[in-house]
């Protein structure tokens, strides 16, 4: 049901999740962990973004500051100089653009240019960022709340959500918070585990907690009562303090001082998921209380940020729990260190195949969006898997036009060939109409029609098949004059649930609302095309302002 019911409002766009959405990573930085420097040049970055769109990416995530372990913060002016030209150009090509930034001024500039999503690695812990995204100037952009260890938790100024509301748990949480307030954590460089640094905040979760548990157990055996906080801790039967510490992947030190061997392959998921899900829920609540509508919020558990490989695996295995929070959920594991750990691949750029495997597991548990470096490869991977694993016929409209040769026969031949496309059928046809030339006035009139199809193919795959239909009917695009005479023209106008930008395909078709020779045939298939497409975000012009006016009817298709 998560695929059917969740939606994500991103400015002027509304993304649905009847199929997973692909976010392509475009790092305009010299030092990103897997592709640093590849797209630092503005022209190269724009070309890479357009290539990802044409290969099947739904969103392009543009970042101008690396947040790899041990990263060097970038001045907001430098970050803006890197990303603004790229964002501006991708928006011109109809792309849904996400700006990956923790700086509110950079976010403001990019949203003004048309970026539809703000991806904040610090999880909107900056009050200025919250104020911006809750205000009128953010254009109702989509928001990605990321849990990034110290990058996010360290900036929070308010108390995290307490999921266990028992009196003992509340008392333990207050005591842990007071202790954290006394000890200011020094800044750390390089890889670190946020959770290991926070074990003291979980009852019996540290070596000190282990000693306390053993001491209290001994006291209880002599007739004393164990403290309520210890008794209320979620410890499995038979697991004493040293064993629980081992479960948490922390070095347990019993009274004798010797280390004990770890007895479990992964740390206990409870403390980890309480902290991750508590943070994500807390930040989502902060945003909604500030005035952000819930349908604008997406959650990202922040794979690789301040987490060990074991902790990342625990979090990924809990994807279904995070999806149950009700917000769209992102899987952003591309080429991360833990992916290399489980696959044995040392070099980050070579981890794409392993990344796809982790993403597939997340999608099957309810994740809605995957953030990947190799958008083209994942689009192929997803198209192959999804077409077999998920029955998903969707409605689409294809416009057919001809003004050379036997115009009616060309249109009928195209209709028959479209019906032969795999996983596709023609469900309805409009009548055939004659229309004036739209953009080149001194031409033979066109014959036009629209066919309604049902298809289970991805949009870019369907477009490739439609281009083959044009070739089979006799059209040659190479060297042809734009808007010139053609044997057949097949335009994918609209596809259910799809928004797409780029050079290869734009959905909905950017000129749909101005073409009389398309809107009139659509009246045979849709009760009120103007109302239908306005609901889809397409501005439909009144008849007198359209181009290619219909002048007559030529017969049935």
Distance CA 123, CA 167 (A): 29
Judgement on whether residues 8 and 105 belong to the same structural domain of the protein: yes
pLDDT tens by residue, 259-307 = 556 678 898 999 999 999 999 999 999 999 999 999 999 999 999 888 9
Instruction: Yes or no: say if 306 and 152 are a contact pair by the CB < 8 Å rule.
Output: no
- The mean pLDDT value for 507-532 works out to 95
Which residues have CB under 8 Å from 394's CB, separation 6+? 18, 454, 455, 456, 495, 496, 497, 498
What CATH number does the domain containing 495 carry? 3.30.70.560
**pLDDT tens string 472-487:** 999 988 877 777 889 9
Domain assignment of residue 107, yes or no: yes
Residue 16 has a pLDDT of: 93
431 shares a domain with 518: yes
Same domain, 77 and 134: yes
Find the CATH number of the domain harbouring 330.
3.20.20.20
Whether 499 maps to a domain, the answer reads yes
Q: CA 36, CA 24: separation in Å to the nearest integer?
A: 15
- Report the Cα 476 to chain-centroid distance in Å: 37
Listed range (9-13, 18-22, 162-166, 333-337) with the worst mean pLDDT: 162-166
- 246 lies in the same domain as 148: no
Q: Is residue 279 part of a domain?
A: yes
pLDDT in tens, 403-425: 999 999 999 999 999 999 999 99
- Is 162 within the bounds of a domain? no
Pair 373, 406 in one domain: no
Q: pLDDT at residue 370 above 90?
A: yes
- Residues 33 and 19 grouped into a single domain: yes
- Residue 134 domain boundaries: 2-155+271-389
Contacts of 384 (CB under 8 A, 6+ apart): none
What 3-state DSSP class applies to 383? helix
Do residue 281 and residue 316 come from a single domain? yes
Could you give the number of structural domains in the chain?
3
Same structural domain, 113 and 230: no
The last residue of a domain, from among 374, 389, 404: 389
Co-location of 143 and 290 in the same domain: yes
pLDDT score of 542 more than 50: yes
Residues 456 and 525 in one domain: yes
pTM of the model: 0.80
Domain identity same for 321 and 359: yes
């Amino acid at each position: 049901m998560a695929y059917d019911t969740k939606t994500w409002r991103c400015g002027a766009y509304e993304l649905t999740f009847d199929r997973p959405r692909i976010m392509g990573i475009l790092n305009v930085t010299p030092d990103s962990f897997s592709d640093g420097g590849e797209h630092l040049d503005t022209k190269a970055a724009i070309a890479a973004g357009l290539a990802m769109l044409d290969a099947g990416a739904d969103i392009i995530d543009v970042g101008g500051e690396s947040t790899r372990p041990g990263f060097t913060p970038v001045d907001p002016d430098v970050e803006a100089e890197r990303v603004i030209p790229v964002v501006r150009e991708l928006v011109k090509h109809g792309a849904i653009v996400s700006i990956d930034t923790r700086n509110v001024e950079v976010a403001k500039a990019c949203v003004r240019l048309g970026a539809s999503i703000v991806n904040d690695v610090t999880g909107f812990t900056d009050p200025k960022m919250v104020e911006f995204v809750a205000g009128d100037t953010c254009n109702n952009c989509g928001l990605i709340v990321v849990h990034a260890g110290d990058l996010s938790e360290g900036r929070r100024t308010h108390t995290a959500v307490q999921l266990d509301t028992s009196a003992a748990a509340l008392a333990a949480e207050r005591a842990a918070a007071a202790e954290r307030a006394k000890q200011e954590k020094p800044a750390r460089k390089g890889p670190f585990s946020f959770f290991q640094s926070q074990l003291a905040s979980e009852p019996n979760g540290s070596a000190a907690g282990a000693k306390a548990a053993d001491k209290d157990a001994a006291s209880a055996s002599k007739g004393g009562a164990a403290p309520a906080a210890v008794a209320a801790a979620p410890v499995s039967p038979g697991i004493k303090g040293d064993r629980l510490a081992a479960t948490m992947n922390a070095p347990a030190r019993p009274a004798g001082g010797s280390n004990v061997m770890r007895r479990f392959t992964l740390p206990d998921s409870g403390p980890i998921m309480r902290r991750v899900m508590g943070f994500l829920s807390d930040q989502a609540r902060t945003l909604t209380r500030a005035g952000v509508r819930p349908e604008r919020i997406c959650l990202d558990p922040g794979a690789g940020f301040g987490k060990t490989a074991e902790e990342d695996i625990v979090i990924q295995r809990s994807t279904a729990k995070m999806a149950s929070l009700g917000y769209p959920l992102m899987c952003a594991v591309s080429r991360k260190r833990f992916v290399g750990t489980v696959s044995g691949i040392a070099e980050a750029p070579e981890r794409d195949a392993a990344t796809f495997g982790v993403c597939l597991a997340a999608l099957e548990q309810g994740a809605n969006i995957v953030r990947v470096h190799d958008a083209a490869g994942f689009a192929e991977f997803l198209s192959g898997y999804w077409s077999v694993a998920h029955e998903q016929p969707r409605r689409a409209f294809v416009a057919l036009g001809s003004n050379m040769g036997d115009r009616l026969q060309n249109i009928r031949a195209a209709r028959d060939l479209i019906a032969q496309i795999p996983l596709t059928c023609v469900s309805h046809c409009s009548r055939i109409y004659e229309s004036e030339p739209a953009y080149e006035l001194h031409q033979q009139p066109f014959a036009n029609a629209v066919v309604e199809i049902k298809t289970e193919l991805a949009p870019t795959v369907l477009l490739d098949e439609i281009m083959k239909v044009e070739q089979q009917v006799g059209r040659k695009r190479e060297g042809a004059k734009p808007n010139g005479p053609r044997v057949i023209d097949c335009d994918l106008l609209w596809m259910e649930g799809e928004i797409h930008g780029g050079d290869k395909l734009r959905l909905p078709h950017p000129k749909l609302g101005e073409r009389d020779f398309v809107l009139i045939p659509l009246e045979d298939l849709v009760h009120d095309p103007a109302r239908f497409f306005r609901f889809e975000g397409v501005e439909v012009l009144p008849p007198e302002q359209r181009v290619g006016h219909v002048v007559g009817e030529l017969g049935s298709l």
